[in-house]
Structure 1
Amino acid sequence: MSKEVKPESMSLHSLGGRAGEATLEQEPVCIFGTGDLGRSLGQRLLQTDYKVVYGSRRPHTCGSLPRGAQVLSHADAAQLASLVFVCIHREHYGFMETLASQLEGKVLVDVSNNPEKNLYPEANAAYLQKLLPGCQVVKGFNTLSAWALQNGPSDASRQVYLCGNSAEAKQAVAEVVTKMGLTVLDRGSLSAARELEDIPLQLFPEWRLPLQIALCLTAFFFFYLLIRDVIYAYVIQGKDISFRIMVSLANKVFPIVSLIMLSLCYLPGVIAAFLQLYRGTKYRRFPDWLDRWMLCRKQLGLLALAFAFLHVLYTLIIPIRYYVRFRISDSIVTQIRENQTSKFDTTIAWRSDSYYSVGILGFGLYVLLGITSLPSVSNALSWREFSFIQSKLGHLTLLLCTLHTYLYGWDKFLRPSMYKWHTPEGYMVSLVVPTVVLVLKLLLLLPCVDRNITRIRRGWERAAPDEDKTLLM
């Protein structure tokens, strides 16, 4: 378990083994390395009223550094500070062996990362501790980017993980972290360094399952509609409409995937509710697959919103497409030649206006759900407000988007010509999951069911049959 380190007032002189009456603010902090991270770290430390001295191989030609910082050789810089940030790559650690006497008893903060996992047999911090056994190595700051340090702490980059074998050394680093406005999380001894070094190498770990679901759904419906629309027209009707793959086919796939993924955001909550009703308690763990599903609902929703945006953009370009303009002009010329005019159909007008209106309302709520999922917005909402938007308005969004799809289909499901090769339209398939979710949610809203689920979530438990017999005796 991670725990916050509460820094106490402590002088770095006690760690460096150097006598002096200077306070912490009067003693500089040393930084080995003048790269992007070293410069950003130095700038942040200067803004926090620390004095900063850089150690460099070329102190006179290392380029521009934050104003107010001093630049010396590695040996001279190390002698001035008890806390040294090592902002260099592992392959350059060797030169510090020659500085063993200057670094003796001091705290070294290793901020390095590797380009890939398991590149070396041991963690960088453990290797540094082996090179300099007389120092106290602390792993930290490696999960922060130079950009985050330059721009100050934010919701996504406030935490600084620390690990090390010396509690006093970690405490000294924690004091600096806290003064910088960041949050300290102590991960224990230096044996946790490899775990910390692997954190920046993770590529969207929480997005993997949602992305896999999105890719699978997109691929499935793309080939499904390709077979039904393009290949069917070529094989049965002898028409080459392959050009429709780029826009028409894509504009069918995107809304289908969006609707299914939106319904997948709310399906696990419904399943969890029925599972609690079946068990009669909320204190039993959900299955691992359901836990994992529920934890990625935010990512599923944001990906669904992205597909909805693509659907809107593709729909907006329909009037300027060559195929559409050609069909319109050809229809007008045909009517003129045949001296005919199309009659206005009120039913079609109602259907199209309702279809577009419901779609616009659904998309508007869709965007609202996406905005309130941002940390900067959700942090400004109370739990009741957040729950109202994400749950109640979320189900309303699902209802409107599902109704939008039903209005699009209208009575097409009754026409045999719609079932090419005896397969239903893609939008018909997409309606299965959201319809099931809405029906199940409607059942949960029934007074008798809602009353029971509310009691369970407030701590009530249904007694087991054996317990009931015991109570009656």
Structure 2
Amino acid sequence: MSYAIIGLGKIGTAIAQAFANQDIEVVVAGRRPLDASAAQIGPSIVARRLEDAVKADVVILAVPFANHRDIGRAAESWQGKIVIDATNAFGVPPEELGGLPSTAALAKSFPGAKVVKAFNHLPAAVLAQGSKTPQGGRRVVFISSDDGAASASVAALVERLGFAPIELGKIGEGGLLVQARGNTWAQLIFQDLAKFD
């Protein structure tokens, strides 16, 4: 399976570092060339153009929510791909989302993709601390999707990256716990939780 991260800001860099820590190859792309930034993170981080990055089997969106439509237009087809939504729509009026959770609204720009919400609930600085908490547990990453198989696939990736996946169910159900709505953060956003095996 091939992976790509679109956006190498603070969240994208933290996720890329998690891939580098496990020596898993991941393509990174953004609005500007990322060769130097990718090289600083590690040898398994490969900078490419956006048009190449969207060809990956799993594409992680680590961009401002407003940029998702541009990325949606960058691929000829999203059919069968997994798109991981790591964005937050804080400050976006609910009516602008058609009353939908932000991930469901975002999914419209990726027809045929299986969209999964993950990696959005922790601040970048916390995510950048890695998968292990100071107490020795594994840091929790919440996952939500309307596609059970895609959710399980992302849970397996989260596990491979060293984190503890917690599946919340469908986007409009348990997934609402990690969705910003207007100027309100959901209950599980900013919750730095650990799982002890």
Shift of residue 125, structure 1, vs aligned partner: 1.1
CA deviation vs aligned residue, 1:374-430 (integer Å, no higher than 9, x gap):
x99xx9xxxxxxxxxxxxxxxxxxxxxxxxxxxxxxxxxxxxxxxxxxxxxxxxxxx
Aligned partner of 2:11 in structure 1 is 37
Partner-residue secondary structure (3-state), 2:28: strand
Shift of residue 88, structure 1, vs aligned partner: 0.9
Aligned partner of 1:184 in structure 2 is 165
Shift of residue 133, structure 1, vs aligned partner: 2.1
The question of whether the paired residues in 1 share the 8 Å contact of 2:73 and 2:109 is answered with no
Partner-residue secondary structure (3-state), 2:42: coil
The question of whether the paired residues in 2 share the 8 Å contact of 1:144 and 1:157 is answered with no
1:110 aligns with 2:110: no
Q: Matches of 1:71 and 1:175 in 2, distance apart?
A: 24
Q: How does 1:47-126 map to 2 (within 5 A)?
A: 47-59=21-33, 64-65=37-38, 66-68=41-43, 69-79=45-55, 81-116=56-91, 119=94, 120=97, 121-126=99-104
Q: Matches of 1:163 and 1:54 in 2, distance apart?
A: 23
Q: Matches of 2:180 and 2:138 in 1, distance apart?
A: 16
Aligned partner of 1:201 in structure 2 is 185
The question of whether the paired residues in 1 share the 8 Å contact of 2:121 and 2:142 is answered with yes
Q: How does 1:283-362 map to 2 (within 5 A)?
A: none
* Structure 2 spans left out of the alignment, 5+ residues: 188-192
Partner-residue secondary structure (3-state), 1:34: coil
Amino acid paired to 2:24: Y
Partner-residue secondary structure (3-state), 2:73: helix
Aligned partner of 1:308 in structure 2 is none
* Structure 1 spans left out of the alignment, 5+ residues: 1-11, 13-26, 204-374, 380-473
Cα distance change on mapping 1:122 and 1:157 into 2, 3 Å? farther
The question of whether the paired residues in 1 share the 8 Å contact of 2:5 and 2:29 is answered with yes
Larger Rg: 1
CA-atom RMSD, angstroms? 3.1
Of Structure 1 and Structure 2, which has the larger fraction of its residues in helix?
1
Aligned partner of 2:129 in structure 1 is 151
Alignment counterpart, residue 167 of structure 1, candidates 148, 152, 161: 148
Shift of residue 118, structure 1, vs aligned partner: 5.4
Partner-residue secondary structure (3-state), 2:76: helix
The question of whether the paired residues in 2 share the 8 Å contact of 1:75 and 1:99 is answered with yes
Shift of residue 196, structure 1, vs aligned partner: 1.1
Q: Matches of 1:137 and 1:202 in 2, distance apart?
A: 19
Q: Matches of 1:197 and 1:76 in 2, distance apart?
A: 29
CA deviation vs aligned residue, 1:45-81 (integer Å, no higher than 9, x gap):
1111210111222225x762312211111111122x2
Q: Matches of 1:122 and 1:171 in 2, distance apart?
A: 23
Cα distance change on mapping 1:44 and 1:172 into 2, 3 Å? same
Q: Matches of 2:101 and 2:71 in 1, distance apart?
A: 17
Q: Matches of 1:49 and 1:64 in 2, distance apart?
A: 16
**Structure showing greater relative contact order (alpha-carbon pairs closer than 8 Å, 6 or more residues apart):** 2
Cα distance change on mapping 1:190 and 1:72 into 2, 3 Å? same
Q: Normalising by structure 2, what TM-score? A: 0.78
The question of whether the paired residues in 1 share the 8 Å contact of 2:4 and 2:59 is answered with yes
Amino acid paired to 2:146: N
Q: Matches of 1:100 and 1:72 in 2, distance apart?
A: 14
Cα distance change on mapping 1:188 and 1:181 into 2, 3 Å? same
Shift of residue 162, structure 1, vs aligned partner: 0.9
Count of residues in correspondence between the two structures: 180
Q: Matches of 1:63 and 1:183 in 2, distance apart?
A: 30
Q: How does 1:21-32 map to 2 (within 5 A)?
A: 27=2, 29-32=3-6
Q: Matches of 1:104 and 1:110 in 2, distance apart?
A: 16
Partner-residue secondary structure (3-state), 2:80: coil
Of Structure 1 and Structure 2, which has the larger fraction of its residues in strand?
2
The question of whether the paired residues in 1 share the 8 Å contact of 2:59 and 2:83 is answered with yes
The question of whether the paired residues in 1 share the 8 Å contact of 2:138 and 2:162 is answered with no
Aligned partner of 1:132 in structure 2 is 110
Shift of residue 116, structure 1, vs aligned partner: 4.2
CA deviation vs aligned residue, 1:353-391 (integer Å, no higher than 9, x gap):
xxxxxxxxxxxxxxxxxxxxxx99xx9xxxxxxxxxxxx
Shift of residue 35, structure 1, vs aligned partner: 0.4
Shift of residue 110, structure 1, vs aligned partner: 0.2
